[in-house]
Amino acid sequence: MKKSLIVGIAVGALALFGIAWAAAPVLAAQALIRAAKAGDENRIEQLVDFPSLRESLKSELNAELMARMSRDPRVADSGLGGLGMMLAPMILSGAVDAVVTPEVVARMVTTAEAPDPTRRPPPEPAGDEADGDDIHQAWGYRSLNEFAVTLTDRDQPDDHLALILERRGLFDWKLAAVDLQTSPAA
């Protein structure tokens, strides 16, 4: 009798641990979304690994900028195009370092748009547009240590922004990267 009780308690404890371990990124992602909608910059700072996020954004935006520049015949045919392609990453890097703040993360989460340091920020949405109800969310693990929340604006269904949360310890997760997907997901 005692042995079966101990085994039952151990199995129950193990099951609770597994459930908590698997649910931790979902709870962290929900906390990030709530903080973004509420504009709680202190909470966003706790939930985001800003150095990792900035590096990820630099990489994603550089790749997108290079793709745009290589498709533009004015840049490709110009002798200055090569110079522009060499200087663009440095300029973009400095701009991302300056632009990525808790406020910008909140805007990313609520609008499903990555910051574009080459243009002025859009005006704040008013009324019902500000609550992010037109943003579709898809949730899922990418690996044991990566969890993605893919955001899609219903008005632009071909553009996706994946917020990548990474594990920091057993139950702690932080937004550490983004994945820009400007074509339909396969």
pLDDT string in tens for the chain (186-residue length): 688 999 999 999 999 999 999 999 999 999 999 999 999 999 999 999 999 999 998 888 888 877 777 777 666 566 666 666 677 778 888 888 888 899 999 999 998 888 776 555 555 554 444 455 678 899 999 999 999 999 998 888 888 899 999 999 889 999 999 998 755 333
Residue 90 has a pLDDT of: 80
Instruction: Indicate whether 186 belongs to any domain.
Output: no
Q: Does 65 reside within a domain?
A: yes
**What was the pLDDT predicted at 45?**
94
In a domain, 104, yes or no: yes
Residue 44 lies in a domain: yes
- What's the pLDDT score for residue 76? 58
Q: What is the pLDDT of residue 133?
A: 66
Residue 180 has φ and ψ, to the nearest 5°, of -85, 125
Q: Is there a domain that residue 84 lies in?
A: yes
> Is the dihedral angle over the CA atoms 67, 68, 73, 74 positive or is it negative?
negative
Distance of alpha carbon 70 from alpha carbon 89, whole angstroms: 14
- Phi and psi (nearest 5°) for 176? -125, -10
Tell me the torsion sign for CA atoms 129, 131, 133, 138.
positive
Q: Is residue 27 part of a domain?
A: yes
DSSP H or E stretch at residue 177? strand 173-181
Determine, yes or no, domain membership for 33.
yes
Provide the residue range defining the domain that includes 71: 2-181
pLDDT for the residue numbered 150: 92
Q: How does DSSP classify residue 131?
A: G
Q: What is the pLDDT of residue 129?
A: 45
Q: Are strands 146-153 and 173-181 parallel, antiparallel or unpaired?
A: unpaired
Question: Number of folded domains in the chain?
Answer: 1
Q: Is residue 18 part of a domain?
A: yes
pLDDT value of position 97: 85
Q: Given the structure tokens 């900028």, which residue do they identify?
A: 65
